Amino acid sequence: MILMTLNLKITFIPLVALLMSSAACQSQHSDIIAEGAELVLVADDYTFTEGPAVDAEGNVFFTDQPNNRILKWSPDEGVSVFMQPSGRANGLYFDHEGNLLACADEKFQLWRIDSDKNVTVLWEQFEGLDLNGPNDLWVDPNGGIYFTDPYYQRPYWERSESAMKKEQVYYISPDMGNIKVVIDDFARPNGIIGSADGKTLFVSDRGNNKTYSYEILEDGMLSEGTLFCELGSDGMTIDNQGNVYLTGDGVTVFDKNGKQIEHIPTGKKWTANVTFGGPNQDLLFITAMDSVFTLQMNVKGVRN
């Protein structure tokens, strides 16, 4: 795929202090970014940031997986440590009761963390075998959980190969009593997000550098996949116009028909994940390598 000309102008502070405060991000063609908005550096003292998830108040929780911790960003109070250790949490998402769900891949588990930081293991095996390592997840309107389970060898694992034959996408029923495979033909599933109405699921196959869309059926199963775009993604989010945000080389935005409409560079080697945060859900929150950024938007997230 030939990427569009960048619609975003980014101005750097001198190279020695790359993005130490902010980078000017001014859209030339797309109107999804607020006029004159700047990519603001929130913090840059991490090892690898991932998994941003927004709560009902607009606070964003994210992970620093190599340091085994979950952090919390508040618009008023900045960043603080929420939980450490954190089961080597990667992707995060809030359920409808306000519990934080975490892809805790230290022991190949999916966790539920309540407001008192009590942990419940929701799932850890499939057909008697350890999962590869839950990576990213999305909660549907009924409370069911879709999650991706790729295999990325971790330095803290004792195992050196997967017990599973495939890297798959799973669905856990709303009562947390049943799990089933919903995608089994990906090379390496990774980013996942659903539409606001709960009718469409977008899933990235990073192994083949493609993203697909699926109709969500009544029983939680999926229709046959349709190619959404010729680009894979690490983490993903969606806005109230139905635009889908993919990550990797910065943030690349596609409209609901799979046409690229924007590219947001971060100045980092890899951009891992993205969500909408803040009280109005109009701040794009971006995790990229050792840093986290925000960008004021004209569109909003659809989580709460």
For 85-143, the pLDDT digits (tens) are: 999 999 999 999 999 999 999 999 999 999 999 999 999 999 999 999 999 999 999 99
Average pLDDT over the chain, rounded to an integer: 91
Is 182 within 8 Å of 222 (Cβ atoms)?
A: yes
**For 248-267, what is each residue's pLDDT tens digit?**
999 999 999 999 999 999 99
What is the per-residue pLDDT across 217-252, written as a single tens digit (0 to 9) for each? 999 999 999 999 999 999 999 999 999 999 999 999
In this structure, are residues 71 and 80 in contact, taking their beta carbons and an 8 Å threshold? yes
pLDDT band at 30 (very low <50, low <70, confident <90, very high): confident
> How many C-beta atoms surround the C-beta of residue 186 within 10 A?
22
> Residues 12, 13, 19, CA angle at the centre, nearest 5°?
75
* Residue 23 confidence (pLDDT): 39
Please give the structure tokens belonging to residue 65.
């997986």
CB 101 within 8 A of CB 110: yes
Domains of the chain, by residue range, sit at 45-296
CB 147 within 8 A of CB 137: yes
pLDDT digits (tens, 9 = 90+) for 136-175: 999 999 999 999 999 999 999 999 999 999 999 999 999 9
Are the beta carbons of 276 and 59 closer than 8 angstroms? no
Domain over 45-296 is classified CATH 3.30.70.20 = no
> At which residue do the structure tokens 């975490």 appear?
102
User: What is residue 304's predicted lDDT score, i.e. its pLDDT?
Assistant: 60
What is the secondary structure of 180-215 as a DSSP string? Answer: EEEE---SSEEEEEE-TTSSEEEEEETTTTEEEEEE
Q: Which residue has the tokens 């089994």?
A: 184
User: In terms of C-beta distances under 8 Å and separation of at least 24 residues, what long-range contacts does 148-155 make, across chains too?
Assistant: 148/189, 148/190, 148/191, 148/192, 148/203, 149/189, 150/188, 150/189, 150/190, 150/206, 150/207, 151/188, 154/88, 154/105, 154/106
